[in-house]
Structure 1
Amino acid sequence: MSSFLLIIFMQIKPTSHYKRTIQLWLAALIMGMSACVTVKNPPVGQPFVYDSKIELKSDNISKEEAKLLKTNLAEFWVDSLRSPKVQKYFVAYKIVSPPVFDTASISKSIQFMDSYMNSEGYYQASFKDSVQVDSTTAPGQKRVTVTIYVDPNKAMIIDSLGYALEDTALERIALEKRGATAIVPHKTKFTKQNIADELDRLVKNYRNLGYYRISRNNLIAETDTTDAALLKLTLDPFEQAIKMAQAAARNKENPSAVVLIKERPPEDTTLVRSRTNDFIRYRVGHINFFPETGGTEIPDSLLHQLSQFPHVYQTRTGHISIYDKEGKFVPRPMLNHLYMRQGDYYSDTGFYKTINNLSAIGAWQQVDYRNYLHGDSVDMNFFMVPAIKQNVTVDLEGSWNTGDFVSSSNMFGLALNMTHRNRNVWKRAIQSLTNLRTGVELNLTKSSSYSNRLLQTLQIAGSHSYSFPRFITPWHIRSRNLDAIRTVVSVNGSYTDRKDYFQFRSFVTNWGYEWKKGNASWQYRPINFELYSLDVMEGLTQAMKYNPYLKNAFNTGTVLSQQLNYNITYPNKRFPGNNYFRFGIEESGTLFGLIPALKDEIYRYFRVEGEYIKHFDFDKTQLALRGFAGVGINYSGNADKFGRELPFYKQFIAGGPNSMRAWGLRQLGLGSSLQSDTSSTFRDRYGDMQLELNLEYRYPLFSIGGVKFNGAVFTDIGNIWNIRKEESLPDAEFSIGRLGKDIAIAMGTGLRMDFNFVVIRVDFGLKLKDPARISNDGWMSIKHFTWRNHEFEDQMANNPITHKPLVRNNYGIQLGIGLPF
């Protein structure tokens, strides 16, 4: 983390030689603290393990693979050669009760490391060890540093991959699907994982084609590293010796192996008949559903007490039965999510797809199964424990923001959420969700620059939605390859009263579809109807006089749009951690605007945004990165009615607890325009474009009573802009040539309190580079640092409502729930 702090610190632009000298001294102090390691409770008079190092020779491997090998090799030190370092004071470290040094532990560690290198395909790796004893740094202590030098040499490559299965059907399937193998002859390394992946691929193919009983235990991979030249017999012992020497040299220079997949012979000959049954193809037999299974009922007992069920539904073929006692569910949800048909060959994919989709509906909290062989068929039984049908939850949210909304003072927000959920509407496993929300924003210090009243903002909102566990369309859509399919209908309305400024009402309803494919999720709303109305009050009227741009920004109307959203989560390939990507598109008026009656009655715009989050998970810490980009274009024909920008409720905003944290919510931008920063009234900003990059390093601090306290250092980079140039708002439009000037940079630290079920977060950010700061090209000055920006104070008029002066802080304090990204 010290390196991270140093990088951020060195970005501060110096304004003098004196400042540069201080900067270099502080940088040296950070690096010195990072090198400081203290030892607590060392063995008295005995050498102890101070450090264990791995030095890897990487001449024959890539940098990425060398880094991965070195990291993993460190996991194979025996415990008596480990001295875990605990972080202290953020950058320094300490060692507590280090183990006594034992030379025998070195050979054990090398043995473990050699086994690991073999599993990674390095069968010719060599190891050397070095031991250094330091008795001068700390008098009375004998600090031992153990270093193991590893030379991997060349990795063994798979020369060829073949199949020699006695069962001709299995052999044919393996040959037909060999194109899907990840093993490439003469390129793929001979590793334990690569061979295991190939065996798993074969087993998956077989089980999806009806081989219900086959498993990894039925297959074996035989390898041969013998040089083919040695198979040519000769009676001359000297010639044979020369061949063997040449083969050994070739194998050392280019080690390779021939891999042959075969059936594993049974260890017990009495089990030959049982093993033969493993290679029989099974078909889907009878399918039974038990949708009202009790949480304490034993599935096997239910199968022997079928007469206790008063209601039994059977399909016309009689191959599917549904057993229930109270008739809580109609058959359709189960039949729609059954991905197998009687008489088809058994498939693992269809079987587990059925279980996963039944679980994803939400009407059942648990789905269990019991399968039984009946001749050459598999009878399946699904036991489904219903979730609690209805429940009500109440949540209280709180937020604190410096410089939020239309003021530059501290604002405290409270919101009460009440949610009612019904998981089985009309007995069809339809999900119903009703939400009521009321929130207020309070000025506890009554120091707002625009109003002395306690209540600043009042918001009331309500929503209701239905989620049907199938696609409802005028035509049939093939959904066998999709998961978690839903049709969602929702309606919501809200009322916002920004005291002295405006009253805003909205009504939104839409019809859409949701589904998953693999680890990707999709959401498509072909119909999205939004209706808004705005009552302008005295405060906003006064603000529009000082800032004419607000007349166009606060435009309202009707939206009739389509929305498409895509997101995917996937793990990192070479190190622990996950990736998240989200992409969204919305268009309004492109299609519906072609209807003459709607052409001049609805907004016509196109909006797109994307977000990428990447996490690097270390032993106890995490590095998180986030990138966001969004842009929207309003191309409505009637500019007087709909304006030239996106409607403000569709625009982008920056600042607050989850964005540029040194700025209050909606208090950054537009570009490097000073119009909003120097305004004495309404200061909220909305833009048609946003770029943002966030970097955060997270680390543990301590725990108190089960509550984990974690720390973080972060930097936020970004801003919002308009797309079109406005004479009344200079320097607010996006321009590549002015990007360096427009970009804002924040640096800060934060505290996270993890209660397991919720994380409360407080972040403190400094405006390292502020586009609204004229001096020093926007960069913070260390020599002339102030907590407030006093530029233009003598030129700005007081608020016409409160007659109070405006202040601009050089910092921001944010209170948030959960991690920012």
Structure 2
Amino acid sequence: MSFFAFLSLWFSGCATVKTNGEKEYLLGNTVFKGNKVIKNEDMEALIPTKPNRRFLALPFYPYLWLYRVGSSGYNREHYRRRLSDLTLEYQSKSADTSLTVRQQNKLRKKYAKRIEKARLGVEEGNWWMRVPGEPPVYHSKAEAEKNLEKIKGNLFNKGFFDAQVSYKSDTSFQRVKNTYYITEGRPTIIRDVVTLSRNPEIDSLLNQGRGAVSRLRRGDRYDQAVFEEERIRIETLLKNNGFFAFTRQNISFLINDTIRLETDSIRKTIDIRTFVANTPPQGGQKKFRISGMTVEVQPSSGLPAELDVRDTISYNGITYIHSDKKYSPRILNSMIRLRPDSIYSQLDERYTQRQLSLTDQFQFVNLSFDSTATRLAGRINAIPLNKYELATDLGLNVIQSQAPGPFATLSYKIRNVFNGLENFEINLRGGIEAVSGYGGRNLLYRSTELGLNSSLTFPQLLVPIGAIRHRYGYLNPKTQVNVGYNYVDRPEYVRTSIKSAAIYSLQPNNNVFYSLSLIDLSILNTQKINPEFQQLLDSLALQGNNLRNSFLRSFVSAFNFTFVYNTNPIFGAPENAKYLRASLESGGTSLNFFPGQMNFINKVVNPGSERDTLQFFKFIRWNIDFRKYWRINNTSSFVARVNTGGVHSYGGNRKGISSVPPYEKYFFAGGSNSVRAWLPRRLGPGSTRPRYTSNNLSIESPGEFLLEGNLELRGHLADFFGKINYALFLDAGNVWNLSGPDLGSGTFKIDRFYKQFAVGTGFGLRYDFGFVVLRFDFGAKVYDPYLQRFVLDELKLNKLFNNRQANFLNLNIGVGYPF
């Protein structure tokens, strides 16, 4: 007990100081009581001063302690003298007229860093005080009273016109806690809303169709923030219908208090009149058309003036000006929605800018307009990126149950290859990992992987019909052609694969993405298999595990379609959002129409060989992944996920066609993105007995049908050189077989599958550095489908991480969130 008391004093330091003979206490927490409608987090945002940060909600203040460690040896006069001496020294040396411009610049940079460091020392203290430390935050009665007025004002703005607020300060443990007592009272309700404009066109837009859907609604509580939302809505609506010069300042509101009406005995009500452009604005009531568009691509930086020769081309009414780099006017034309003689639309302007930015050709795209009367002359200025780009990436692979291994990636990109905004990229990747062997030995072996991939991306849909090709230019269309080679050398086998694909994609907005691959071909070849590993594959085949089919020489052809809908913000904390990913893949479909291609492909791949023929596959595979995010407050959220899928193989009664799908197309359960209490890909199928080698990790458990769900509560623990977040989760799921040999308890049956769900629970720690999130999830089994019983009580505290126990804490290490 004395040890923790010592730590508390050590971390918190002195909690009070004397100013003018009076004690000043450190600021404690702020508490709100009595509010029923307005959330605490909304009022917390009004309090600018926050107390010193604690560690893991304990009475430890490490940042304050570090500040006081630094301040104990801090001498402000030393930094002031240092700043003065450096300034005089620089002024003396820079006055030397014999210095060249280059020497002057070098001298300025040298002293700028030193002077800035000394200035920070004067204003903010030494390194310990500035960087890891946090200055003490003291309670202020004057600020507490200001915060009270802010809270009252916020309640008024939220419709509680008669709200009452008081506060009380309590001192405990040398800190002051402020408690604000709130009585909201009756809210003010909107009784009627009318929108008016003297401009007939504007009035028609605002009172018909979608334009009449106001943010101010009858029956809603008065909220001043909604008035600004309504201003933005009206401004956006009018700007999208030609009113280029209209601004939200042209909108005013008249609020009539109806509290004295006899019908208003229970609640307060108001009537709102919205007046739009009723004063003569500068062009705010004019409808603008595009008189012309000019697109100018600026020359490369550093291009000599004598080489800056401009080339002007007119295409479909748009003028294109190029310098040293040429870009296809036809391709650019498909991305520009602002057309000559069309009505101006802010939405078209943003679509145009977005599409040009997504081509990965320009580092900056700017749109500007010159207005005359009711006409707009548009101009697009674009600054190109470098044509050639070389990038490298070094890191560590972090894979569960394996030791981290280094990897390196080298990529080379060429932009605007054929002057049609195409991108060519080639990637070379190499990695080494320490992996567990399949041979039953409890040892780690080196695994080497090398990959060479190239891709050519076109900013359009390469289809025979030209009208379709150019119609979707503003939807971020892409056609990507990929060719890749992969080499894997493990103790069990040496394997190579060659893959090629042609992928079409559309992205109408930031929330929706479509992808269609009509050509997806792979040739898989196992060059060497360890004899011990071959024996294991043969024994697994007798048990119904088709792992050995993955190592036969194979040809896989497929087409697939993917749809993604994601409303999560790209940056910042997740809001109330949804994520849906649905995919459908058909393998070997062309064999149904052109069965003779099997002989042709065999002759091409194996010329002159009739013995070493390829194995072909025909299958249908689907997968649906749905997630729902609920925001609880600024630091907490709740996530629910359902992931399901199935694969069905057909045509296996014909020679050369496998009766099972490729091994890579099976589904697996368990691991850091699945049921986290089980090892990766080791759960199931159904309630079958797990297959173990002596190291308990070797044999995977594939299935043809997957159904799993996850619930996760996420919150914030502390800040310590980054954000330390926590998670509490509950996982359930399994895989089953649908065809093949009768595996009994591993086969999906409608009357028993719900009894075969594996259930796991646990907690996680996530260290968020801002640019990367390190994840550590600890999962324990709750219900084991093989044992068919509750097993959480079999978790032994003295053997938490012993994976030979019936239950243990399974550590999942990952980067980023699981879903």
Question: Does the pair score TM above 0.5?
Answer: yes
Match of 1:569 in 2: 566
Distance between the aligned counterparts of 1:682 and 1:784, measured in 2? 26
2:546 to 544, 549, 552: 552
Answer yes or no: is 1:638 the counterpart of 2:635: no
Alpha carbons of 1:127 and 1:38: their partners in 2 closer, same or farther (altered >3 Å)? farther
Partner deviation per Cα, 1:176-210 (whole Å, 9 max, x = no partner)? 34654134753233322333333322222222222
1:767 to 773, 776, 780: 780
DSSP 3-state at the match of 1:88: coil
Match of 2:462 in 1: 472
Name the aligned partner's letter for residue 314 of structure 2: Q
* C-alpha contact (below 8 Å) 2:716/2:725 kept by paired residues: yes
Match of 2:293 in 1: 287
For residues 269-280 of structure 1, the aligned pairs below 5 Å read 275=281, 277-280=283-286
Answer yes or no: is 1:88 the counterpart of 2:55: yes
Compute the displacement of 1:610 (Å). Answer: 0.9
Compute the displacement of 1:766 (Å). Answer: 4.6
Name the aligned partner's letter for residue 72 of structure 1: D
Answer yes or no: is 1:723 the counterpart of 2:742: no
Distance between the aligned counterparts of 1:694 and 1:73, measured in 2? 29
Alpha carbons of 1:71 and 1:93: their partners in 2 closer, same or farther (altered >3 Å)? farther
* C-alpha contact (below 8 Å) 1:624/1:697 kept by paired residues: yes
2:639 to 610, 614, 625: 625
Distance between the aligned counterparts of 2:175 and 2:409, measured in 1? 62
* C-alpha contact (below 8 Å) 1:615/1:624 kept by paired residues: yes
Name the aligned partner's letter for residue 492 of structure 2: D
Answer yes or no: is 1:460 the counterpart of 2:427: no
Distance between the aligned counterparts of 2:308 and 2:398, measured in 1? 59
Compute the displacement of 1:728 (Å). Answer: 6.8
2:42 to 67, 72, 80: 72
Compute the displacement of 1:366 (Å). Answer: 0.7
Name the aligned partner's letter for residue 312 of structure 2: V
Distance between the aligned counterparts of 1:715 and 1:568, measured in 2? 24
1:56 to 29, 34, 37: 34
* C-alpha contact (below 8 Å) 2:544/2:740 kept by paired residues: no
* C-alpha contact (below 8 Å) 2:562/2:583 kept by paired residues: yes
Compute the displacement of 1:388 (Å). Answer: 1.6
Partner deviation per Cα, 1:32-64 (whole Å, 9 max, x = no partner)? x9xxx9896145675856443222354xxxxxx
Compute the displacement of 1:342 (Å). Answer: 0.9
For residues 238-257 of structure 1, the aligned pairs below 5 Å read 247=261, 250-251=263-264, 253-257=266-270
Point out the more displaced range, 153-162 or 85-94.
Answer: 85-94
Name the aligned partner's letter for residue 514 of structure 1: L
Structure 1 unmatched runs, 5+: 1-32, 59-65, 228-245, 267-271, 298-304, 404-409, 792-807
Distance between the aligned counterparts of 2:307 and 2:408, measured in 1? 50
Compute the displacement of 1:436 (Å). Answer: 2.2
Point out the more displaced range, 672-681 or 197-206.
Answer: 672-681
Alpha carbons of 1:597 and 1:180: their partners in 2 closer, same or farther (altered >3 Å)? farther
Match of 1:41 in 2: 15
For residues 642-653 of structure 1, the aligned pairs below 5 Å read 645-653=660-668
Alpha carbons of 1:107 and 1:89: their partners in 2 closer, same or farther (altered >3 Å)? closer
Match of 1:670 in 2: 685
* C-alpha contact (below 8 Å) 2:187/2:268 kept by paired residues: yes
Distance between the aligned counterparts of 2:189 and 2:804, measured in 1? 68
Compute the displacement of 1:358 (Å). Answer: 0.5
* C-alpha contact (below 8 Å) 1:482/1:517 kept by paired residues: no
* C-alpha contact (below 8 Å) 1:671/1:719 kept by paired residues: no
DSSP 3-state at the match of 2:549: coil
DSSP 3-state at the match of 1:597: coil
Name the aligned partner's letter for residue 703 of structure 2: G
Compute the displacement of 1:784 (Å). Answer: 7.3
Distance between the aligned counterparts of 1:582 and 1:531, measured in 2? 31
* C-alpha contact (below 8 Å) 1:83/1:99 kept by paired residues: no
Match of 1:122 in 2: 160
Compute the displacement of 1:698 (Å). Answer: 5.6
Partner deviation per Cα, 1:606-641 (whole Å, 9 max, x = no partner)? 32221426374855x454636241221314031686
Name the aligned partner's letter for residue 491 of structure 1: V
Match of 2:367 in 1: 369
For residues 148-163 of structure 1, the aligned pairs below 5 Å read 148-163=181-196
Match of 2:791 in 1: 778
Partner deviation per Cα, 1:699-731 (whole Å, 9 max, x = no partner)? 46565xxx6373545546244412327767453
* C-alpha contact (below 8 Å) 2:311/2:322 kept by paired residues: yes
Match of 1:528 in 2: 520
Which is bigger in relative contact order (C-alpha 8 A, separation at least 6)? Answer: 1
Compute the displacement of 1:457 (Å). Answer: 2.9
Name the aligned partner's letter for residue 767 of structure 1: A
Point out the more displaced range, 766-775 or 547-556.
Answer: 766-775
Compute the displacement of 1:214 (Å). Answer: 0.9
Name the aligned partner's letter for residue 529 of structure 1: L
DSSP 3-state at the match of 1:277: coil
Name the aligned partner's letter for residue 721 of structure 1: V
Compute the displacement of 1:785 (Å). Answer: 4.9
Match of 1:513 in 2: 505
DSSP 3-state at the match of 1:112: helix
For residues 321-720 of structure 1, the aligned pairs below 5 Å read 321-401=319-399, 403=401, 410-442=402-434, 450=440, 455-475=445-465, 476-477=467-468, 479=471, 482-501=474-493, 503=495, 505-517=497-509, 519-534=511-526, 537-547=530-540, 548-549=542-543, 552-555=546-549, 557-571=554-568, 577-578=574-575, 579=577, 581-588=579-586, 592=590, 594-595=592-593, 597=595, 602-612=617-627, 614=629, 616=631, 621-623=635-637, 625=639, 627-638=641-652, 645-661=660-676, 663-677=678-692, 682-688=698-704, 689-693=706-710, 695=712, 697=714, 699=716, 703=720, 708=722, 710=724, 712-715=726-729, 717-720=731-734
Name the aligned partner's letter for residue 588 of structure 1: S
Name the aligned partner's letter for residue 296 of structure 2: F
Match of 1:20 in 2: none
Alpha carbons of 1:646 and 1:114: their partners in 2 closer, same or farther (altered >3 Å)? farther
For residues 253-268 of structure 1, the aligned pairs below 5 Å read 253-263=266-276
Answer yes or no: is 1:109 the counterpart of 2:154: no
* C-alpha contact (below 8 Å) 2:403/2:434 kept by paired residues: yes
Alpha carbons of 1:654 and 1:721: their partners in 2 closer, same or farther (altered >3 Å)? closer
Alpha carbons of 1:614 and 1:427: their partners in 2 closer, same or farther (altered >3 Å)? same
Alpha carbons of 1:561 and 1:101: their partners in 2 closer, same or farther (altered >3 Å)? same
DSSP 3-state at the match of 1:634: strand
Point out the more displaced range, 470-479 or 356-365.
Answer: 470-479
DSSP 3-state at the match of 1:326: coil
Distance between the aligned counterparts of 1:411 and 1:809, measured in 2? 23
What is the RMSD computed on CA atoms of the aligned residues?
4.1
Name the aligned partner's letter for residue 541 of structure 1: Q
* C-alpha contact (below 8 Å) 2:160/2:184 kept by paired residues: no
Distance between the aligned counterparts of 2:672 and 2:240, measured in 1? 49
Name the aligned partner's letter for residue 87 of structure 1: R
Compute the displacement of 1:87 (Å). Answer: 3.3
DSSP 3-state at the match of 1:322: strand
* C-alpha contact (below 8 Å) 1:162/1:260 kept by paired residues: yes
* C-alpha contact (below 8 Å) 1:367/1:384 kept by paired residues: yes
Query: Could you tell me the percent identity over the aligned residues?
Result: 14
Match of 1:241 in 2: none
Distance between the aligned counterparts of 2:268 and 2:500, measured in 1? 66
Compute the displacement of 1:464 (Å). Answer: 1.8
Name the aligned partner's letter for residue 84 of structure 1: P
Point out the more displaced range, 685-694 or 782-791.
Answer: 782-791
Distance between the aligned counterparts of 2:566 and 2:28, measured in 1? 40
Compute the displacement of 1:672 (Å). Answer: 3.4
Alpha carbons of 1:117 and 1:606: their partners in 2 closer, same or farther (altered >3 Å)? same
DSSP 3-state at the match of 2:214: coil
